Amino acid sequence: MSSSLGLGLLLFWLACWAEAAPGAADTVYTGGVIYTMDARDTVAQALAVAGGSIVYAGSDAGARRYVGHNTRLVPLKGRAVMPGLIDGHMHPVEGGLTLLKCSLNYESLSIAEFQAHIQACLDQHRSNSAEAWFEVVNWFRYGLRPQGATVSRATLDALKTDRPIVVRDTFGHSSLVNSRALALAKITAKTSDPANGRIGRYASGEPDGFLEDAAQNLVLERVPKPTPAENLAAVRAALNAMRRQGVTAFLDAVAETPDIEAFAAIEKAGGLTARAHFAPRIRPEQTPDAPSARRAVTRVVALARQYDEGPLRPRPSISVHNAKLFMDGVITAPANTGALLQPYYENHGSAAHPKFEPAAKREPDVYFPAPILREILIALGEAGIDPHLHTDGDGAVRAALDGIAQMRQALPGRDVRPALAHCELVDPADYPRFAELNAIPVLSFQWEKPAFDSIEGARDTLGPRRHALIEPAGVLAARGARIAYGSDWPVDPLDEWFALQVGVTRMDRPGGPPQHAGRLGTDSGLSQKEVLRAITANAAYELHEDHFVGTLEAGKLADFIVIDRDPAAVPPTEIAATRVLRTIVGGQEVFRSEP
């Protein structure tokens, strides 16, 4: 063949290719193992991105059509790619603030270590004012050593300071305060327990320093709120932590107005690196009757109108189309503020010879009575707001599902996506109701392992039958529930990959106490593909953004991560070691840990 004929054929084929080819992409990624998480679980080799959206997901050969003169080519070299992580339940401003405060770092501490750590913080952050509140965070109350050890206000009173101290438990449902804090808050033996809360007391009736659930507000309302500058610093710290983990979208599950304002300021300045969803809280005390319940929903709608930026776009934005309701507290002793269908067990023996038997009555009740919950859920559904309900105990789960059933009956065909967060204990009769009602369990997988809170803090007070059923992720999935994931950070450290590993293994890291070896409970857990889907496609569905993100398909926004291993193929015990190499949001790289 002559050179002129060869050149002519080449030009002909190039012209045909150019005529048939779509517009050139901005970036083409090739040579990867790309988990699209689409309905067919397609695994691709290449992605083409243009204008912040995916225009192609398929083979390397097919991606060549999207390469133009200005296309940036990124060879993946066999690395794994998956949709960006979507955290369906966290508290990012609080999480960012904990990175800036005195922290007990979620550690299992002896009483002496507990005191020494707080004293070191006090010495480092001195104040000339005896009324300057001192806040301590990330205390793992249930890991106090040795087992059975207790603390009280006297433990804090022994520290060298005159300042009021409040120590926040990691779960967020308990605080320990010193006598100075109790005095400033005017909490005495005569102070009644608030609704949906409890003041811990000595046998004499005097407060012992523990404040459970709503009782915390008696003190926390006196602690100075973070300044706008502190909130901005917290948001920046939170976003930095998230993008390093590969989080490209999240739900702030108890969004206060200053929190939304801080994120809005960061977004306006161009610093938002994850899609921000917010769930303003509706409180029980705001809704004593049906009219007030409707007014509470109206306030959420007003916040949505003020801050929600509409349908998702390539650049991260702010969404407000969720509302948060706490149905109960936590099922872990000694708090025992989670609502159960049957009473907790109490020790009717001694410490040396315990004898756990059912208490005389069932308490506490759920925080929203059924008629009020029905009004709120229907009003939210009518307004296009998805309810997000904290439900820890089986009584709270039952009440929430009953309310959702009434909402479905009142609003047939309406696309409302209610979520039940945590669901640590679910009665077997309610397993199939999640799928029947399209109610989404948003689970924190890292709790599904043997630990002080799930063993020592729950085994005796739940009793053997119920304890065997805790953290029912596998059985809910088997009954058709669409499980999403939420870290609940800063209740735990932000470690998404460890949580995914626990969701499969139901085991802690090696090296823990011998009593925490092995798997938790009788539940089978989830498969590797199921936990990955929970933190991508299912969480996108929960947040009503599944038409835009959650899978890697043509037409969706280019939110994805490049990681150093294949999380669907490695041994389950290696998932926690996954390292994020790149985080891409709307086609823009917001984090890179490789050259």
The 10s digit of each residue's pLDDT in 266-290 is 999 999 999 999 999 999 999 999 9
Question: For 276-296, b where at least 16 C-beta lie within 10 A, e where not — what string?
Answer: bbbbbbbebeebeeeeebeeb
* Rg, Å, the chain Cα set: 26
3-state secondary structure (DSSP) of residue 562? strand
CA separation for the pair 237, 322 (Å, rounded): 24
Token pair recorded at residue 281: 């809280």
**Sequence-distant (≥ 6) Cβ neighbours of residue 159 within 8 angstroms:** 115, 118, 119, 122, 165, 178
Residues 578, 582, 583, CA angle at the centre, nearest 5°? 100
DSSP-assigned states of every residue in 160-226:
S--S-EEEEETTSSEEEE-HHHHHHTT--TTPPPPTTEEEEE-TTSSEEEEEEEGGGHHHHTTSPPP
Question: For 526-558, b where at least 16 C-beta lie within 10 A, e where not — what string?
Answer: bebebbbbbbbbbbbbbbbbbebbbbbbeebbb
The H or E element containing residue 590 is strand 588-592
For 467-510, how does the pLDDT look when each residue is reduced to its tens digit (9 = 90+)? 999 999 999 999 999 999 999 999 999 999 999 999 999 999 98
Q: How many residues does this entry show for the chain?
A: 595
| Residue pair 314/53 in contact by the 8 Å Cβ criterion | yes
**Sequence-distant (≥ 6) Cβ neighbours of residue 401 within 8 angstroms:** 420, 430, 433, 434, 437, 439
pLDDT value of position 105: 87
Alpha carbon of 400 to those of 248, 310, 339, 366, 393: distances in Å? 29, 28, 11, 9, 11
**Sequence-distant (≥ 6) Cβ neighbours of residue 12 within 8 angstroms:** none
Of all residues in the chain, the percent with pLDDT exceeding 70 is 96
| Residue pair 490/170 in contact by the 8 Å Cβ criterion | yes
Cα 127–chain centre separation: 34
Q: What is the mean pLDDT of residues 515-536?
A: 96
| Residue pair 80/567 in contact by the 8 Å Cβ criterion | yes
Q: Is pLDDT above 70 for 419?
A: yes
For residue 43, the 8-state DSSP code is E
What is the residue whose two structure tokens read 């012992």? 208
pLDDT value of position 9: 35
What is the residue whose two structure tokens read 């296309």? 71
For residue 586, the 8-state DSSP code is T
Residue 595 binned pLDDT confidence (cut-offs 50, 70, 90): low
Strand order in the sheet with 85-90: 85-90, 247-255, 275-280, 318-319
Hey, how many other C-beta atoms are within 10 angstroms of the C-beta on 78? Answer: 10
3-state secondary structure (DSSP) of residue 498? helix
Comparing CA positions, the residue from 504, 511, 381, 412 lying closest to residue 108 is 511
pLDDT value of position 101: 86
pLDDT value of position 17: 43
For 14-47, how does the pLDDT look when each residue is reduced to its tens digit (9 = 90+)? 443 443 456 899 999 999 999 999 999 999 999 9
Q: Is pLDDT above 70 for 303?
A: yes
Q: Is pLDDT above 80 for 445?
A: yes
Candidates 3.20.20.150, 1.10.10.2120, 2.170.120.30, 3.10.310.70; correct CATH number of 93-220? 3.10.310.70
Q: What is the mean pLDDT of residues 538-543?
A: 98
pLDDT value of position 3: 43
* Domain boundaries defined on the chain: 3-78, 93-220
Alpha carbon of 164 to those of 169, 180, 222: distances in Å? 17, 5, 10
Token pair recorded at residue 40: 């067919």
Of 167 and 144, the structure prediction assigns the larger pLDDT to: 167
Angle between helices 257-268 and 290-307 (to 10 degrees): 10
CA separation for the pair 316, 483 (Å, rounded): 25
Q: Is pLDDT above 60 for 144?
A: yes
CATH superfamily of 3-78: Urease, subunit C, domain 1 (2.30.40.10)
pLDDT value of position 127: 79
pLDDT value of position 318: 98
For 320-368, how does the pLDDT look when each residue is reduced to its tens digit (9 = 90+)? 999 999 999 999 988 899 999 999 999 999 888 999 999 999 999 999 9
pLDDT value of position 76: 97
Q: Is pLDDT above 80 for 263?
A: yes
CA separation for the pair 222, 12 (Å, rounded): 78
Beta bridge partners of 442: 421, 484
* Strands 33-35 and 53-58, sheet pairing: unpaired
Comparing CA positions, the residue from 423, 226, 265 lying closest to residue 338 is 423
3-state secondary structure (DSSP) of residue 27? strand
Token pair recorded at residue 460: 């005796």
pLDDT value of position 400: 98
Residue 8 binned pLDDT confidence (cut-offs 50, 70, 90): very low
CA separation for the pair 227, 93 (Å, rounded): 12
Residue 5 binned pLDDT confidence (cut-offs 50, 70, 90): very low
> If you average pLDDT over every residue of the chain, what do you get?
93
Question: For 233-256, b where at least 16 C-beta lie within 10 A, e where not — what string?
Answer: bbbebbbebbbebbbbbbbbbbbb
pLDDT value of position 2: 43
pLDDT value of position 112: 94
Token pair recorded at residue 286: 């705001």
CA separation for the pair 592, 595 (Å, rounded): 8
pLDDT value of position 98: 87
CA dihedral over 560, 562, 563, 568, signed as positive or negative: positive
Residue 195 binned pLDDT confidence (cut-offs 50, 70, 90): confident
3-state secondary structure (DSSP) of residue 461? helix
pLDDT value of position 172: 80
Residue 7 binned pLDDT confidence (cut-offs 50, 70, 90): very low
